[in-house]
Homo-oligomer: A and B are copies of this chain.
Amino acid sequence: MPRLADQKNDFPQWYLDVIQHADLAEHADVKGCIVFKPYGYAMWEAIQQDLNRRIKALGVQNCYFPLFIPESFLNKEKDHVKGFAPECAVVTHGGGKELAEKLYVRPTSETIMYPTFAKWIHSHRDLPLKINQWANIVRWEMRTRPFLRTLEFLWQEGHTAHATKDEADAMVNDALKMYADFDREFLALPVLRGRKPDHEKFAGALYTLTTEALARDGKAIQAGTSHNLGQGFSEAYDVKFLDAAGMAQRPWITSWGLSTRIIGTVIVVHGDAKGLRLPPSLAPVQIVIIPIYKTDAEKTAMLSACKSLEQSWSPALRVKIDDRDDKSPGFKFNEWEVKGVPLRVEIGPKDVEKKQITVVRRDTGGKSAIPVASASAAAVQTLLHDIQATLYAQAKQYLDDHTREASSMDELALLIEEGNMVWTSWDGTVASANAVKEKTKATIRLLPETDRMACGKDPVSGKQGITMALYGKAY
């Protein structure tokens, strides 16, 4: 079994090793892109299924808009085009001819969706309009890292239009809560919630809310963001409605998204020295059963015991028997540990004799024997729930331990250097944020969600802060 790079000493190489040896993805022959291999793509399918249910529960309907955005459409919202146009892939030829108007491959879909909103929305009775799409997105990017940063990625993007700012604010909050709940419940990811400072918000937005997780190398990483786009896009794309009094109004628009980047987040938050650790709700394989034998007779008996277990657990649980003949049990143990399978079951002659199974938890490494009679699907489900809770608790502990506070620049720099996210006072200027970035490479990950929080002096300018701000190095 190939060794992984040491997680503590070379986190970036450890990350690449995990992706390779867990067989999640590989670099594609197109620069900046990856191939999602079946085991990695299965995680995305599980994410889609769970998140889709939550999206629909918010009264949002799925639809699908074109991949291409005519240049003139992208250009209409000035902040937005400034932010995204430089990142775009541009189609100049089609059907063997040069195009009269260039087409941009969508870097996000506001500019192709909202001209259509203008056709769909006429009256306050057409509001709220709530749609979502699952789609591929292209943002030009050469410093790639699988999942975390790729030229093409997959995501969902929700877009809604509302009659009032209050309703749009509520939607933005509901979407953020959905992401935080999904992160916690499905991915066992603890996140901090907050608002981006203006200079870090989505291009064209009024404000951006974010969920931030903390990787084991001390870097912050977004895990779902939600934007109140105000009325700027409505203005740019001439979306309007007649209110109950018959007055023409501009709707308030929101957008919110979560991408395949979240798979990278799961790896960097839960992964350990031995590889991936998957929360059971997400894991394509929840339990791997490994027969241990020397003789042919033992093999027959062990495989039969394995199959009987599989039958009692499947399809309620996602179970796999690793019956490969050409690999040793030790090789298999390592491989399934790298792949992050939450629970390993070993069945050897002694287990069969004692009518027990040996179970090994991936979260704690804890090994124990369980009587076969007590290993019902329900009992194992309970164990998986405990693994899910433990992974969350471990990550929460790490997040709590590494969310610190500083009042001076030296303290801030040291805490960042040591791999923390750090609260400090901020005077609200980009200059101060930039000075911190220059010294520590950390940026403001978020501000408090609503209130500005009592605070002291900005460690850069020495001026009275206007709010606390959470700094962190980012992916």
Interface residues of A (CB under 8 A from B): 26, 28-30, 33-38, 41-42, 44-45, 61-70, 73, 86-96, 103, 105, 112, 115-116, 119, 131, 135-136, 138, 140-142, 151-152, 154
Known: A42-B62, A64-B154, A95-B141. 19 other contacts (CB 8 A): A28-B66, A28-B116, A30-B66, A30-B69, A30-B112, A35-B65, A35-B116, A36-B64, A38-B62, A44-B64, A66-B152, A67-B138, A68-B89, A88-B94, A88-B95, A89-B91, A90-B91, A90-B92, A91-B105
Are A90 and B93 also in contact (CB < 8 A) when A38-B63, A63-B35, A67-B136 are? yes
Q: Which residues of B contact A64 (CB under 8 A)?
A: 35-36, 41, 44, 154
User: Of residues A44, A86, A116, which shows the largest number of chain B Cβ atoms within 10 Å of its Cβ?
Assistant: A116
Contact A90 B94 (CB under 8 A): yes
Partner of A95, one of B73, B87, B116: B87
* A29 contacts B115, C-beta separation under 8 Å: yes
Contact of A29 among B30, B45, B112, B151 (CB under 8 A): B112
A140 to B70 alpha-carbon distance, docked (Å): 15
| Contacting pair A70 B30 (CB below 8 A) | yes
In the assembly, what is the distance between CA of A63 and CA of B43, in Å?
Answer: 10
Interchain CB contact (< 8 A) of A152 among B37, B63, B68, B90? B68
Q: Bound state CA distance, A63 and B65, in angstroms?
A: 22
- A142 CA to B140 CA in the complex, in Å? 28
Query: Could you name 6 residue pairs across A and B whose Cβ atoms are closer than 8 Å?
Result: A28-B65, A28-B116, A45-B62, A87-B95, A95-B141, A136-B136
- Chain B residues with CB under 8 Å of A103's CB are 30, 89
Tell me the nearest residue of chain B to A139, going by C-beta.
B95
In the bound assembly, the distance between CA atoms of A95 and B281 in angstroms comes to: 38
Most buried by B among A28, A87, A142, A151: A28
Looking across the interface, which residue of chain B has its beta carbon closest to that of A69?
A: B30
- A434 to chain B: closest CB distance in Å? 23
Please state if B66 and A140 are interface contacts (CB–CB under 8 Å): no
A63 x B36 contact (CB < 8 A): yes
Q: A41 — which chain B residues lie within 8 A by C-beta?
A: 61-64
Residues in chain B near residue A66, CB distance under 8 A: 28-30, 33-35, 152
Given contacts A35-B63, A64-B35, contact A142 B86 (CB under 8 A): no
Whole-angstrom distance from the CB of A95 to the nearest CB of chain B?
3
Task: Give every chain B residue within 8 A of A45 (Cβ-Cβ).
Answer: 62
- A61 near B90 with CB under 8 A, answer no
How many Å lie between the Cα of A151 and that of B86 in the bound state? 25
Within the complex, the shortest CB–CB distance from A116 to chain B, in Å, comes to 6
Choose one: B28, B61, B94, B135; the contact of A140 (CB below 8 Å): B94
CB distance from A137 to the nearest CB of B (A): 10
